Amino acid sequence: MTLLDAGGVATGGAAPAPPRRRHTARWIAGVVLVAGAGLVALLATRPPQAATEVDTPLVGQQAPAIDGPTLSGGSFDLAALRGRWVVVNFFASWCPPCQQEEPDLVAFAFAHRAPTAAALVGVVFNDTAGSARAFMRSEGATWPAVVDGGGQIALAYGVVGPPETFIIAPDGRVVVHLDGPVTASSLDGWLARARQGST
Amino acid sequence: MSRVGAPSLRTGLWVVLVVMVGVALGVGASRGSGPTDPRQQADALDAVLRCPSCDGISVAQSSASTAQAIRQAVLARARAGQSDGRIESYLESRYGPGILLRPPVAGATAWVWVAPPVALAAGAGALAVVFWRRRRRRLPDVTDEERRLVEAALRDRSPVPGTPPAPVPS
């Protein structure tokens, strides 16, 4: 077969292709549209964020010191709470999950208002004292919140972004590290589990 | 023109190249084993620490609050005379090994360090084998008579039969 023959065979029987291409484009557009609509539906209907336990190097270690001025003008020292269960919550007024969890923290603090019950303490994460104070006041939060100048307390706890919550055992060890917004019931559950684990 | 000396010259060049690469790697590995100035030490460390709240950039490159806090802590510890290893292990004890942009040599990430030299050695070995085989295969193909013919042809610059004439520049 000569080159001319080959050329004749190759071009002679070819049918026009444009209609097929148009269909392909329509199919691709349809698939993209359906995928986009599915993604929107998934994001719109997914449940709100919940706290998850994270296994960080600090768990099982002595809790780093939390010592400094509070938003209300007083001072706080974590060491003074040795012998009690302590819940340390890193928060910021600008963080939506922190806003989501705040009513639950208020409920938790109220349920544990007895002097020997678990104590709740906040640590301001990358926020101004004024904004953090206004945020706590608007939510009715009355527990001490420590001002973390320079973010050194957050660094000592390995906090990446708020909200993050730590449960500290009466002997001063960090036993639970939670990432994300907590609820009053989930916090009670983690606390009960930590109590069981420490006995 | 005789090409008797060419293989030994080529071998010599290869040896020189290997020695140069070895010296360069050795110098590179031994250099920068600890700036004495705390600011320089902190800057060097910031460049190899991962910003924990960012996406794959170093503490030195980030303006995030976590990165700023880490920069402060690193500088304070460098000024206190702490070694790179001690500062790194402190941050690892807070954020885990992921805080280091340079993966640790031990454990699951060890292959990151082991794989490149192994691949380099395997590649060099494979190349050496290929060259050696090619040379062995080629040597018997060219006789002295053929070599003389080629050299004579090159000297005369006569066109090889069957090749098209060189294009005339316009």
Residue A11 has pLDDT above 50, yes or no: no
Asked if A155 and B94 come within 8 Å (Cβ–Cβ), the reply is: yes
Please indicate if any CB of chain A lies within 8 Å of the CB of B92: yes
Q: How far is A111 from chain B (nearest CA, A)?
A: 31
Give the amino acid at A55. Answer: D
pLDDT score for B34: 55
pLDDT score for B26: 83
Helix axes B65-79 and B38-48, enclosed angle (nearest 10): 140
Q: How far is A102 from chain B (nearest CA, A)?
A: 22
Residue A104 has pLDDT above 80, yes or no: yes
Summary mean pLDDT of chain B: 83
Q: Which residues contact B84 (CB under 8 A, 6 or more apart)?
A: B34, B41, B44, B45
Give the pLDDT band of residue A41 (cuts 50, 70, 90): confident
- Whether pTM exceeds 0.80: no
**Do B97 and B89 touch, CB atoms closer than 8 A?**
no
Rounded Cα gap, residues B152 and B128, in angstroms: 32
Q: pLDDT digit string (tens) for A80-96?
A: 999 999 999 999 999 99
Tokens 């910003």 correspond to B51
Please indicate if any CB of chain A lies within 8 Å of the CB of B63: no
Residues of B in contact with A159 (CB under 8 A): 66
Smallest Cβ–Cβ distance between A155 and the set B73, B92, B96 belongs to B73
Residue B4 has pLDDT above 50, yes or no: no
Q: pLDDT digit string (tens) for B36-88?
A: 789 999 999 999 999 999 988 999 999 999 999 999 999 999 999 999 999 99
Residues of A in contact with B68 (CB under 8 A): 150-151
* Percentage of residues in chain A having pLDDT higher than 70: 86
Q: Which residues contact A54 (CB under 8 A, 6 or more apart)?
A: A177, A178, A179
Give the pLDDT band of residue A194 (cuts 50, 70, 90): very high
If phi over 0 gives left and psi between -120 and 50 gives alpha, with beta otherwise, what is residue A49?
beta
Rounded Cα gap, residues B18 and B12, in angstroms: 10
- A181 burial type by CB count under 10 A (0-12 exposed, 13-18 middle, 19+ buried): buried
Rounded Cα gap, residues A119 and A108, in angstroms: 10
- Name the range with the highest mean pLDDT among B44-53, B108-117, B149-158: B44-53
Summary mean pLDDT of chain A: 88
pLDDT score for B8: 78
For residues B119-146, average pLDDT: 84
Question: Which chain A residues have any C-beta within 8 angstroms of a chain B C-beta?
Answer: 56-58, 61, 125-126, 150-152, 154-161
Asked if B95 and A57 come within 8 Å (Cβ–Cβ), the reply is: yes
Rounded Cα gap, residues A159 and B7, in angstroms: 63
ipTM for the predicted complex: 0.71
Q: How far is B103 from chain A (nearest CA, A)?
A: 17
Q: How far is B68 from chain A (nearest CA, A)?
A: 8
Q: Which residues contact B103 (CB under 8 A, 6 or more apart)?
A: B97, B109, B112, B113
pLDDT score for B28: 75
Smallest Cβ–Cβ distance between A57 and the set B52, B68, B96 belongs to B96
DSSP B118-168: HHHHHHHHHHHHHHHHHHHHHGGGS-HHHHHHHHHHHHHTPPPTTSPPPPP
- Picking from A66-75, A178-187, B71-80, B132-141, which range would have the lowest pLDDT averaged per residue? B132-141
Q: How many CB atoms lie within 10 A of CB A53?
A: 14
- The three-state DSSP-derived secondary structure of A131-185 is HHHHHHHHHCCCCCEECCHHHHHHHHCCCCCCCEEEEECCCCEEEEEEECCCCHH
Which residue of A lies nearest to B64 if distances are taken between CA atoms?
A126
Residue B100 has pLDDT above 70, yes or no: yes
Which residue of B lies nearest to A149 if distances are taken between CA atoms?
B69
- Cα Rg, chain B, nearest whole Å: 29
Residues of B in contact with A177 (CB under 8 A): none
Q: In Å, what is the CA distance from B76 to each residue of A20, A154, B82?
A: 68, 16, 9
- Picking from A127-141, B3-17, B59-73, B109-123, which range would have the lowest pLDDT averaged per residue? B3-17
Q: How many CB atoms lie within 10 A of CB A185?
A: 11
For residues B124-133, average pLDDT: 91
Q: Where are the beta strands (DSSP E) in A38-159?
A: 52-53, 67-69, 75-77, 86-91, 119-124, 145-146
Residue B147 has pLDDT above 80, yes or no: yes
Which residue of B lies nearest to A161 if distances are taken between CA atoms?
B53
Q: pLDDT digit string (tens) for A155-165?
A: 999 999 999 99
Q: Which residues contact B92 (CB under 8 A, 6 or more apart)?
A: A57, B99, B100
Backbone angles phi, psi at B100, to 5 degrees: -90, 125
pLDDT score for A1: 42
Please indicate if any CB of chain A lies within 8 Å of the CB of B54: no
